[in-house]
Amino acid sequence: MSAWRATRQMLQTIAGHGWRSHSSKPAQNLHIGKPGAGFSFELTDEQKEFQATARKFAVEEIIPVAAQYDRTGEYPLPLIKRAWELGLMNAHIPESCGGLGLGSFEACLITEELAYGCTGVQTAIEANSLGQMPLIIAGNEHQQKKYLGRMTEEPMMCAYCVTEPGAGSDVAGIKTKAEKKGDEYVINGQKMWITNGDKLHPSSLFYNRYFLLARTNPDAKAPASKAFTGFIVEADSPGIQIGRKEMNMGQRCSDTRGIVFEDVRVPKENVLMAEGAGFKIAMGAFDKTRPPVAAGAVGLAKRALDEATRYALERKTFGKAIVEHQAVSFLLAEMAMKVELARMAYQRAAWEVDAGRRNTYYASIAKAFAGDIANQVATDAVQIFGGNGFNTEYPVEKLMRDAKIYQIYEGTAQVQRMIIAREHVGKFKA
């Protein structure tokens, strides 16, 4: 506790000397010096400091144990606690709730570095932001201070419960129902693939609550914009049944489970915004969290590029390092191009958030492109490693497995293209 308080005090000192202003004021967040000066790609000193802290943590504490967590599937409790102590978790929580209130741009810088170390660890950490975002954008003052404030006082987790066995990309197909009875809602249904879905781990790290999307309008023909309601559900509420931990293809230390809600009672005070506003809140949260997801994909791709480059400099064939063969050097060049462009994409999407603009178009571009190039770059890294790349003694096979989920969670690559097409064509119809 004392370590975290000291770290937070240091970070808030940074914030007080310019960090917060760069996060919340569009002109300064653009790094514009004076009218007509254009913009700069240079990070501020404060941004560099956060980036360096996250990078040091990833290199010195995450990478040395990442392979072990991948093999066992064990939840990375020590790393999550350490990230909390360093102030690398819950970056979005407002200052009014005891948080740092960082902008999306700064949070993405941190996320890229954590993902460089291990995207399983990064996803466990970043899932907190997804679970928090509905409260940040739609919670009232009481709800925010009660549920977000807790997370700045001790390491706690939360989860975003939207996906169901029969409703992933088709969010409007959700079957979980909430029926109002007096001053309460009674919730029944099943959620699936919930990151950080376990409500209690064998340690002092425990779960605060879930954001849950449920149908409150019984009319099957009701539009999604009016049919669903967002709820804050206490994780220890009676009637919540936690499923087994799923052993996935990649990101294995991230905890993913199914959750059953059986006659779970939620007070009306835990409705976010208003009955029927849930779909809008859920989609709004994705606009804010897709840039960090893209940043995570970039972190993985950068790690794959670095590993492949180091290997190409050391491995020799036909009397010279393989990096000297044009086939390999051109492959590295393609990988580098993709990493740089994907980084620019997520930074633009994050910048739009901090500028107070609707970023749906850019968020989907960043998420789709970064997810795709993470898979391409990781696959190319395995190719450069050759037979060694197919072996678990080398790091790139894990990166290849970890990369795939970036084309699936928080909106598949195909759904992103649907959104991009809709937004693009809409500009011409306006």
Catalytic residue among 42, 46, 410, 423: 410
Tell me the angle at which helices 63-72 and 396-403 cross, rounded to the nearest 10 degrees.
Answer: 60
| Phi, psi (deg, nearest 5) at residue 193 | 60, 45
Q: Are 343 and 298 in contact (CB under 8 A)?
A: yes
Residue with tokens 């993913």: 256
Task: Round to whole Å and give the CA distance between 383 and 377.
Answer: 10
- Copy the structure tokens of residue 61: 């504490």
Q: What is the DSSP letter of 45?
A: H
Question: What Rg value do the Cα atoms of the chain yield, rounded?
Answer: 22
Q: Give 144's contacts (C-beta < 8 A, 6+ positions apart).
A: 94, 96, 97, 135, 136
- Copy the structure tokens of residue 232: 């804050």
Sequence letter at residue 222 = A
Where do runs of H (alpha helix) occur along 160-204? none
CA dihedral for 254, 264, 271, 215, sign (positive or negative): positive
DSSP strand pairing (156-161 vs 206-215): parallel
Task: Round to whole Å and give the CA distance between 270 and 236.
Answer: 15
Q: Give 151's contacts (C-beta < 8 A, 6+ positions apart).
A: 90, 93, 99, 128, 132, 158, 208
Tell me the C-alpha to C-alpha distance, in Å, between residue 9 and each of 14, 99, 237, 239, 325.
9, 11, 34, 40, 51
Where do runs of H (alpha helix) occur along 73-220? 77-85, 104-117, 119-138, 141-143, 150-153
Q: Mind giving me the DSSP string for 236-263?
A: T-TTEEE-PPP--SS-TTS-EEEEEEEE
Whether 154 is catalytic is no
Tell me the C-alpha to C-alpha distance, in Å, between residue 293 and each of 274, 406, 407, 413, 429.
28, 8, 10, 12, 30
Q: Are 134 and 230 in contact (CB under 8 A)?
A: yes
Q: Are 214 and 161 in contact (CB under 8 A)?
A: no
Task: Round to whole Å and give the CA distance between 84 and 272.
Answer: 26
Q: What is the DSSP letter of 216?
A: -
Active-site annotation, residues? 410
